[in-house]
């Protein structure tokens, strides 16, 4: 058995890596959902926050570091 990770988009399963099969070869597919771990979800939130800061146009965030300190 060979496991191939894929993403389902527009009615088609798109492999996330190259597949070593000849064109038009027939395969049997067993679907199993991949659920991201809690750590991956936390990283997504961090990347969203960092992306928003980057897109804000603020060039020198260190200059405003003490602004929000108690």
Per-residue pLDDT tens over the stretch 2-25: 888 898 888 998 999 998 889 999
Q: What is the mean pLDDT of the segment spanning 32-37?
A: 77
Q: How many residues does the chain have?
A: 70
Q: How far apart are CA 63 and CA 68, in angstroms?
A: 12
Identify whether 5 is part of a domain.
no
Residue 64 has pLDDT above 80, yes or no: no
Inside any domain, residue 41 = yes
Residue 31 is predicted with a pLDDT of 87
Q: Total structural domains in the chain?
A: 1
Nearest C-alpha neighbor of 3 from the set 17, 11, 35, 12: 17
Instruction: Tell me the pTM.
Output: 0.43
Domain housing 63: 35-70
Whether 25 is covered by a domain: the verdict is: no
- Residue 57, pLDDT > 80, answer no
CA 5, 1, 24 angle in degrees (round to 5)? 70
Contact indicator for 5, 14 with CB cutoff of 8 Å: no
Domain assignment present for 18: no
């Amino acid at each position: 058995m060979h496991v191939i990770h894929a993403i389902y988009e527009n009615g088609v399963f798109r492999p996330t890596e190259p597949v070593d099969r000849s064109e038009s070869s027939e395969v049997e597919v067993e679907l199993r959902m991949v659920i991201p771990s809690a750590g991956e979800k936390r990283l997504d939130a961090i990347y969203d926050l960092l992306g928003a800061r980057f897109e804000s146009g603020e060039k020198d965030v260190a200059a405003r570091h003490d602004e929000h300190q108690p």
